[in-house]
């Protein structure tokens, strides 16, 4: 048996698309003998190794016996062509919808993420500048602590030296008072 799909099979066609389009032809098949049945008869005859011209003429001769004319074949072939074209239009609409949902939405997501990255980078830069400022303040504070520590140590050493000297002189004076008075 010849399937509708095999009527239009050519090397390199997308099987899923071919099934979809031939399914639309089957679904919209007109009653009676028309282009669709004529095409089936031609393919059947060609499978019996008849050449193109003989297969077409033989199929037409058989169709003519039931009142089919060349005009009717051309008219119904145009009808099926329009069926396939309508499927193309619906496919294009569906593809556009998929494009919108799958591509455009993703592109907007990419833009949103890139914007977020740019904001985070700016925030990182701001924080790095803030950290650099803090490190500079820490460095200055550490230098000030060291300097103040050195000043305090000098002050302590000077006080201790002076204190010892004064206490020593008082002790000397007390000893002299005991000794000379």
CB 5 within 8 A of CB 18: yes
Q: Give per-residue pLDDT as tens, 80-130.
A: 999 999 999 999 999 998 888 888 888 999 999 999 999 999 999 999 999
CA distances from 141 to 56, 66, 132, 145 (A): 101, 108, 14, 6
| Number of C-beta neighbours around residue 76 at 10 A | 21
Does some domain include residue 42? yes
Is position 61 within any domain?
yes
Mean pLDDT score across all residues of the chain: 92
Domain count, the chain: 1
Give domain status of residue 93, yes or no.
no
What's the whole-model pTM score?
A: 0.58
pLDDT value of residue 105: 84
Q: Is the pLDDT of residue 59 over 90?
A: yes
Q: How far is CA 129 from CA 17, 125, 142, in A?
A: 59, 6, 20
**Sorting pLDDT into bands at 50, 70 and 90, what band is 166?**
very high
Continuous H helices in 30-104? 35-47, 52-64, 70-98
φ/ψ region of 141 (left if φ > 0, alpha if ψ in -120 to 50, else beta) reads alpha
pLDDT for residue 160: 92
Whether 18 is covered by a domain: the verdict is: yes
Predicted pLDDT at 110: 95
| Residue 101 DSSP one-character state | I
Predicted local distance difference test score (pLDDT) of residue 98: 87
Choose among 92, 116, 95: nearest CA to 104.
95
* Helix pair angle (35-47, 70-98), 10° resolution: 100
In a domain, 35, yes or no: yes
Domain assignment present for residue 60? The answer is yes
d(Cα 180, Cα 147) in Å, to the nearest integer? 48
Q: What's the domain range around 43?
A: 4-87
Q: Is residue 64 part of a domain?
A: yes
> CB of 84 within 8 A of CB of 24?
yes
């Amino acid at each position: 048996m010849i399937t509708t799909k095999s009527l239009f099979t050519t090397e390199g066609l997308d099987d899923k698309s071919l099934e979809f389009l031939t399914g639309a032809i089957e679904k919209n098949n007109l009653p009676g003998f028309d282009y669709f049945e004529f095409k089936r008869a031609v393919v059947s005859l060609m499978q019996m190794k008849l050449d193109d011209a003989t297969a077409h003429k033989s199929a037409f001769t058989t169709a003519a016996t039931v009142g089919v004319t060349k005009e009717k074949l051309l008219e119904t072939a145009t009808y099926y062509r329009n069926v396939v074209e309508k499927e193309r239009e619906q496919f294009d609409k569906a593809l556009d919808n998929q494009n919108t949902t799958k591509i455009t939405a993703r592109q907007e997501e990419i833009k949103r993420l890139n914007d977020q990255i740019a904001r985070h980078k700016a925030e990182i830069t701001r924080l790095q500048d803030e950290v650099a400022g803090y490190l500079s303040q820490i460095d200055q504070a550490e230098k000030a602590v060291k300097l103040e520590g050195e000043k305090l140590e000098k002050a302590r050493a000077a006080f201790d030296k002076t204190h010892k000297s004064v206490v020593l002189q008082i002790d000397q004076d007390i000893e002299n008072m005991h000794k000379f008075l």
